[in-house]
C-alpha cells in the first residue's frame, strides 16, 4: 500500500499550518484497502473548499514538492524526430486529477506542430505532443467532485482557460476571450507559466473542469480520437443545427475527421455525400460508412451533377483549395464549415455566396460540456474511431505514414504497453 508523502511546509509558504488526520480505512473494489493520510488544514482556502484528497496508485518518483516524474516521447527540433524524454508533472492541486495514460491518438496537428509548420503557433521544444488522451485516474485533489481513482478519463485539446469570460461560462472554452491553454506546446499562464506536455507520455495532471468521462460502453483505445477528431466535426454539426430534419450532408476529405463526420451524420439520420480526390475510397465510403453518394472532386462531370444537392458541408481538408469549387454543391442557404486550416488564404467569389445566400464558416474543436455530450452520444450509438494501434516506439514511422495519409483512420499509441516498468501503475 502506498500513500503520498506529504510535506509539512510547502514552498512559498502558502500553507500557514498543516496538521494531519488519519481517515478510516475504506474498502474498495474487492480486497484492496487503502489507508489514507490527509492534511486536516492546509490553509483557510482549503478549509473552506477542499474535501479530503484521495491517495492513489502512482508509482513513479516524486519530487519533494509532490511533482511526479513522467516519461514520454518528445520532438527536440524542427526535424520532428521524437525520442524518449523524462520530465516532471506538477503536483495535484485541490482541483486537479492525476491519471495514468493508457492511449493517445495521433492527430494531424501533432505532425504540424512537431515540424513547426504553423507561423501562428510556433513550436517550443522539447515538445511532447498528443491531445487525444485517455487513461485511468490515479489521484484526485481534495476539491475534485466527480472523479475518483480507477475512473476512465479523457483529455482533449484544452487543458485550461480563464474560466470567467462569457465563452468559458457557456463552456465554449475553445473560444476563451483571454486565452485557452492547449494541452501541449503551450504555457499555462493560469498556473505557473510552465510548458504544457501532451499525451505521448505516461502521466497527466488536469484540472477537473477540463477532464472528460469516458463512458463504459466505449473501448478506451478507439475513444481516444473522439477527443479531437470526433468533437471537431460534432461541434459544428450541433452549432449549425445540421441534424435537423433529414438534411443532406457532405464531407470533403475522408481522413480521421471525415470518417468521424460520416459516422455522426449517419447516426443523426442525414443523407451523406463523401467528396474526395481519391476514387479508390468510394467502396469503403459506401460500404463501411454507408455514404449515399460519393463524388470525385477532380471529375467535373460528377461535381456538376452534385450541384445544389447539399445543405451542409464539413470541409476537413488542410491542403490549399478553392472554395468556389465546393460552394456550388450547396443548396440555397447552404453552409460550408471549415475545420481544417490550410496554410494559405482561401478564395471565394462574392457571387457564389450571394446567388444562393451561402456562407463559409469555421469551427474549432468543441467546448468541454459539448465534448462530454459527444462522448455520451458515441456510447449510445456505438460510435468510435477505426484505429491502428501502435507502440510508442513506432511513432516516428507513424508520422511518416500519416504525412502520406497511409492510415485507416487514426493511429493510437498504446502508451500503457510501451511504458518502461518503473513508470507503470500498480495493478
Partner 1 sequence: MSSALGHEKKCRGYAAREASGHLSPFEFTRSAPGSKDVGFRVCFCGICHTDLHQIRSEWGSSVYPMVPGHEIVGIVDEVGSEVSRFRPGDRVGVGCIVNSCRECNACKRKSEQYCHRGATFTYNSTDREGTITYGGYSDYMVVSEDYAFKIPENLPLDGAAPLLVAGVTVYSPIKYYQMESGGRNFGVVGLGGVGHMAVKFAKAMGMHVTVISTSPSKEEEAKKSLGADQFLVSRDEAQMKEAKGTLDFIIDTVSAPHPADLYLDLLSANGKLILVGVPPEPMQFKPRALVSERKTIGGSMVGGMEETQEMLDFCVKHNIVCEIEKINMDYVNTAMERLAKGDVHYRFVIDCENSFRAS
Which stretches of the chain bind partner 1, using CB under 8 A? Answer: 120, 167, 172, 175, 177, 239, 308, 322, 324, 332-333, 335, 338-342, 345-364
CB of 364 to partner 1, least distance (A): 5
CB of 116 to partner 1, least distance (A): 16
Between residues 180 and 295, which has the closer beta carbon with respect to partner 1?
A: 180
Cα dist from 398 to 107, 110, 280, 388, whole Å = 11, 11, 22, 10
Cα–Cα distance for residue pair 63/183, rounded to 1 Å = 23
Tell me which residue of 384, 108, 124 sits closest to 260, measured CA to CA.
384
Cα–Cα distance for residue pair 405/401, rounded to 1 Å = 6
CB of 327 to partner 1, least distance (A): 10
Residues in Cβ contact with 287 at an 8 Å cutoff, skipping those fewer than 6 apart: none
Cα–Cα distance for residue pair 173/368, rounded to 1 Å = 7
Q: Cβ distance 70 to 130 under 8 Å?
A: no
CB of 350 to partner 1, least distance (A): 5
Tell me which residue of 305, 306, 303, 298 sits closest to 278, measured CA to CA.
298
CB of 68 to partner 1, least distance (A): 33
Between residues 94 and 334, which has the closer beta carbon with respect to partner 1?
A: 334
CB of 309 to partner 1, least distance (A): 12
**Helical pair 229-239 and 256-267, crossing angle rounded to 10 deg:** 50
Q: Cβ distance 377 to 234 under 8 Å?
A: yes
Cα dist from 167 to 44, 171, 173, 322, whole Å = 30, 6, 6, 31
Between residues 222 and 365, which has the closer beta carbon with respect to partner 1?
A: 365
> What torsion, rounded to 10 degrees, do the Cα atoms 278, 282, 283, 289 define?
120
Between residues 162 and 356, which has the closer beta carbon with respect to partner 1?
A: 356
| Exposure on the CB side of residue 107, measured as CA atoms within 13 A | 31
CB of 12 to partner 1, least distance (A): 35
Between residues 77 and 166, which has the closer beta carbon with respect to partner 1?
A: 166
Between residues 69 and 324, which has the closer beta carbon with respect to partner 1?
A: 324
DSSP-assigned beta bridge partners for residue 387: 410
Cα–Cα distance for residue pair 102/419, rounded to 1 Å = 9
Cα–Cα distance for residue pair 250/18, rounded to 1 Å = 60
CB of 111 to partner 1, least distance (A): 17
> Three cell numbers at 157?
485539446
Estimate to the nearest angstrom the gap between the alpha carbon of 140 and the chain centroid. Answer: 20
Q: Cβ distance 153 to 213 under 8 Å?
A: yes
- Provide the b/e sequence for 391-427 (b: ≥16 CB within 10 Å): ebebbeebbeebeeeebbbbbbbbbbebbeeebebee
CB of 112 to partner 1, least distance (A): 12
Between residues 214 and 270, which has the closer beta carbon with respect to partner 1?
A: 270
Between residues 6 and 356, which has the closer beta carbon with respect to partner 1?
A: 356
Between residues 307 and 422, which has the closer beta carbon with respect to partner 1?
A: 307
Between residues 293 and 363, which has the closer beta carbon with respect to partner 1?
A: 363
CB of 185 to partner 1, least distance (A): 15
CB of 317 to partner 1, least distance (A): 10
Cα–Cα distance for residue pair 176/181, rounded to 1 Å = 9
Estimate to the nearest angstrom the gap between the alpha carbon of 199 and the chain centroid. Answer: 9
Between residues 88 and 364, which has the closer beta carbon with respect to partner 1?
A: 364
Q: What is the DSSP letter of 326?
A: H
Q: Cβ distance 11 to 65 under 8 Å?
A: yes
Cα–Cα distance for residue pair 33/121, rounded to 1 Å = 47
Amino acid at each position: 500500500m502506498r500513500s503520498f508523502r506529504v510535506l509539512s511546509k510547502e514552498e512559498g509558504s502558502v500553507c500557514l499550518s498543516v496538521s494531519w488526520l488519519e481517515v478510516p480505512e475504506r474498502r474498495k473494489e474487492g480486497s484492496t484497502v487503502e489507508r489514507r493520510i490527509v492534511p486536516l488544514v492546509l490553509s483557510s482556502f482549503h478549509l473552506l473548499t477542499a474535501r479530503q484528497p484521495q491517495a492513489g496508485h502512482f508509482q513513479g518518483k516524486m519530487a519533494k514538492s509532490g511533482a511526479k516524474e513522467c516519461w514520454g516521447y518528445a520532438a527536440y527540433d524542427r526535424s520532428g524526430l521524437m525520442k524518449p524524454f523524462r520530465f516532471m508533472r506538477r503536483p495535484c492541486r485541490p482541483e486537479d486529477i492525476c491519471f495514468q495514460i493508457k492511449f493517445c491518438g495521433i492527430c494531424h496537428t501533432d505532425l504540424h506542430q512537431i515540424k513547426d509548420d504553423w507561423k501562428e503557433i510556433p513550436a517550443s521544444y522539447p515538445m511532447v505532443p498528443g491531445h487525444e488522451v485517455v487513461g485511468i485516474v490515479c489521484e484526485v485533489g481534495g476539491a475534485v467532485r466527480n472523479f475518483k481513482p480507477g475512473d476512465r478519463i479523457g483529455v482533449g485539446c484544452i487543458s485550461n482557460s480563464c474560466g470567467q469570460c462569457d465563452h468559458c461560462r457557456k463552456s465554449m472554452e475553445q473560444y476563451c476571450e483571454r486565452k485557452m491553454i492547449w494541452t501541449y506546446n503551450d504555457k499555462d499562464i493560469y498556473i505557473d507559466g510552465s510548458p504544457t506536455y501532451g499525451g505521448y507520455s505516461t502521466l497527466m495532471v488536469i484540472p477537473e473542469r477540463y477532464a472528460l468521462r469516458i463512458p463504459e460502453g466505449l473501448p478506451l483505445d478507439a475513444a481516444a480520437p473522439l477527443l479531437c477528431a470526433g468533437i471537431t466535426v460534432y461541434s459544428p454539426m450541433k452549432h449549425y443545427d445540421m441534424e435537423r430534419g433529414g438534411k443532406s450532408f457532405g464531407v470533403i476529405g475522408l481522413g480521421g475527421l471525415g470518417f468521424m463526420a460520416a459516422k455522426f451524420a449517419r447516426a443523426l439520420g442525414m443523407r451523406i455525400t463523401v467528396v474526395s480526390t481519391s476514387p479508390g475510397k468510394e467502396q469503403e465510403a459506401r460500404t463501411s460508412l454507408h455514404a449515399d453518394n460519393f463524388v470525385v472532386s477532380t471529375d467535373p462531370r460528377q461535381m456538376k451533377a452534385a450541384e445544389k444537392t447539399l445543405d451542409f458541408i464539413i470541409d476537413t481538408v488542410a491542403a490549399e483549395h478553392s472554395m468556389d469549387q465546393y460552394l456550388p454543391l450547396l443548396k440555397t442557404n447552404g453552409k460550408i464549415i471549415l475545420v481544417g486550416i490550410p496554410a494559405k488564404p482561401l478564395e471565394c467569389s462574392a457571387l457564389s455566396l450571394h446567388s444562393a445566400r451561402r456562407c463559409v464558416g469555421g469551427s474549432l474543436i468543441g467546448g468541454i460540456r459539448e465534448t462530454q455530450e459527444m462522448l455520451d452520444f458515441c456510447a449510445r450509438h456505438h460510435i468510435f474511431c477505426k484505429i491502428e494501434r501502435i507502440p510508442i516506439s513506432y511513432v516516428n514511422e507513424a508520422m511518416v505514414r500519416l504525412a502520406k495519409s497511409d492510415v485507416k483512420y487514426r493511429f493510437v499509441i498504446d502508451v500503457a504497453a510501451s511504458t518502461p516498468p518503473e513508470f507503470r501503475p500498480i495493478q
